[in-house]
Amino acid sequence: DSKLVTSSKNITMEFNLIEMKLTITKSTEEFSGTYKVVVRNEAGSDESSATLTVK
């Protein structure tokens, strides 16, 4: 159920040369799921994922 996550009043994203940070404030169960980040540049691409459970 892939959905593109975009910045909003409850979601912020920060990216630097080393890491990607996704911050969700006021999270509810609807935010539960697996989040995946994919980065690409001229040298190639990489991806990582994490599972979030909100109870």
The four Cα atoms 12, 48, 36, 33 give a dihedral, to 10 degrees, of -100
User: Mean pLDDT over residues 4-13, rounded?
Assistant: 92
User: Mean pLDDT over residues 5-11, rounded?
Assistant: 92
User: Mean pLDDT over residues 13-27, rounded?
Assistant: 91
CB 34 within 8 A of CB 49: yes
What does the domain layout of the chain look like in residue ranges?
A: 11-52
User: Residues with Cβ < 8 Å from 33, sequence gap 6 or more?
Assistant: 1, 51, 52
Q: Is the pLDDT of residue 1 over 80?
A: no
Chain CA centroid to CA 44, Å: 20
Instruction: Convert the pLDDT of each residue in 21-55 to its tens digit.
Output: 999 999 999 999 999 999 899 999 999 999 999 99
User: What's residue 20's pLDDT?
Assistant: 87
> Which amino acid is present at 20?
M
User: What's residue 8's pLDDT?
Assistant: 93
